[in-house]
Chains A and B, each alone.
Chain A
């Protein structure tokens, strides 16, 4: 019954081979160093995927314009090859494989989000490809013993846990006993947010705070009212939410609508979600964790200080005039780290570059960068900003800078 149609099958195979075999790119072509990156350019993480890409591109252009990377007395230019992982980890891991094996890439810049990084790291590790990543914050990434992965950002337990610390300090300073504080929290059910949650649990335990609501949000939930209704019934002092940009937007909208009256509210990614513009009423008093502040004093020759980076970037990408998300700044910093490592290694040998990366100890507009054994940046703290009534951000250094309890005027 199944006879005589091998022509069709044969043709398909031929097309298949032709389609999959594309010309490979060498790691260093002439005077260009090729770096690969699989980013979320479509799908649920693509907002921040684009922020990351702009950060990489901006840094690459700036470095190329200011003399490039000097190795062996010669000046090289940087180039990044991107693929779109569609916000899916299995795709990210396949594309990394493809970058390394087919496109011959020897160095990688990280993808966006913990989830993608978790999928990419085993591949780069196995091929011994050095990767500098800027967007995977989960602490669990750094307990796997990866030797070729370096992260410029602070790890996820510093997203919300230090906020609790600050609040506890304020409480001790005459508000109420920290152990009387009650927490209601909702975290997206993904790798990043669950790690943020783990950090929060540690601090809460330390101070004996009581967690009265502990919800996980499904990835495509557009309604948080169940959690917030519980919040109104139990009236905890503190509301913590983590769910990337869309979680922040959903939370801000419903906090406003349901007139949630918590003493302290902290939400991750609230800057990226622009809650200060979209929901000025509920945004007032929200504490936003950030990896980077525009008034950091550190300075280096390529970008200058944070303020200059901010201004130059806005000039290059006017659509960011309302503020640059920290995802962009740390992406640029990752490229800087690579440049620095190439020059110190004075070689394109992967292991030498790895060793140079490992010995990184530099100052950037993004803050100091120095990697631990595990590969995370231990030199830079997490920062906090509180949204003010007029929609501006106020930097929080100590607990005295916070307006607490938050003033609401729904």
Chain B
């Protein structure tokens, strides 16, 4: 551990450039998925444990497109639409019936959904690790030491574009305003004539589409496997819990922080701690929130 620190800060400080960059690229993808979670959590109080599986599913659709000879980036709008429709179906069959229930119910129902999605993807694509080749140039800096694949920059840009688009959509469009109104007070929104059921449906489908986009980026940057979803779910929960609901800048910041924490944990403590790091962040955030609330004579709810 000490030698790793030495390496990082004394012998090869240029490593930090690579890691900070990677942290941002990873964080951008996390941010998309986490924002989707914050949306469904905030608007309809559904804690979607299948969030990561939606991401992986988007990745697999990109993989299919890739196999058909379509570059995932060109297939992106199509994938978003497919995921949007899938979100609608899931909403009608499952989510609709758990919204007004005990909060734990949504957690368990989406866990069942997660199991189901994993297994169907496993049946279709097999458990092998799959990858999508973006065929993009890999840039290098510092005498080949730092490598920046163009695809990661494109991903970051795409994530930024989509985040901006979502913000504009939320503030300008009628549906976006209805979503925000429902998030603040569903009953009042209903009184004002907003069809909250439609808002919920749209929100969940939108989340599904956002996850799908994140999945496309994942497929081009890392690898896909039917069972990797749960790790992404845990990360999004850590981010949203820390950032709070309906707080896009917070979500983005936290996503970058988590990306960096994972990178540095992998280097300093060793790769075996990389996944644990995300979980520790989650537990740490929850503990810290409890201390904070204790000072307010309250509990975390």
Contacts and interface: CB of A to CB of B under 8 A. Distances in A.
Interface of A: 42-47, 186, 189, 215-218, 220-227, 229-230, 232-234, 245-246, 249-250, 253, 257-259, 261, 273, 278, 410
B11 A233 contact: yes
B109 to A, nearest CB: 23
Interface residues of B, number: 42
Given A229-B267, A246-B225, A259-B147, A218 B18 contact: no
Nearest to A215: B271
Given A222-B228, A225-B22, A253 B223 contact: yes
Contact of B271 (A226, A234, A273): A226
Given A229-B267, A249-B223, A259-B140, 9 more contacts: A42-B122, A42-B127, A222-B225, A223-B222, A233-B14, A249-B131, A250-B223, A257-B149, A273-B128
B267 A234 contact: no
Chain A interface mostly helix, strand, loop or mixed?
mixed
Contacts of A44: 127, 225, 227
13 contacts: A42-B122, A215-B270, A221-B275, A222-B225, A226-B262, A226-B266, A226-B267, A233-B12, A234-B7, A234-B12, A246-B225, A249-B129, A259-B140
Nearest to B265: A226
B271 A47 contact: no
A250 B129 contact: yes
Contacts of A246: 128-129, 223, 225
B227 A220 contact: yes
Interface of B: 4, 7, 11-12, 14-15, 18-19, 22, 26, 119, 122, 126-129, 131, 133, 138, 140, 144-145, 147, 149, 222-223, 225, 227-228, 230-231, 262-263, 265-267, 270-272, 274-276
Contacts of A186: 271
A225 B267 CA distance: 9
B127 A46 contact: yes
Given A216-B271, A226-B274, A233 B7 contact: yes
A230 B267 contact: yes
B127 A47 contact: yes
Contact of B127 (A43, A216, A232): A43
A308 to B, nearest CB: 28
A245 B225 contact: no
Contact of B128 (A47, A221, A222, A410): A47
Contacts of B26: 223
Contact of A218 (B11, B267, B272): B272
B263 A226 contact: yes
Contacts of A218: 271-272, 274-276
A42 B227 CA distance: 11
Q: Which one of B15, B19, B127 has the highest number of Cβ atoms from chain A below 10 Å of its Cβ?
A: B127
A259 B144 CA distance: 8
A234 B223 CA distance: 25
Contacts of B19: 226, 229
A261 to B, nearest CB: 8
A226 to B, nearest CB: 3
A320 B72 CA distance: 27
Contact of B145 (A215, A225, A230, A232): A232
A111 to B, nearest CB: 16
Contacts of B138: 257, 259, 410
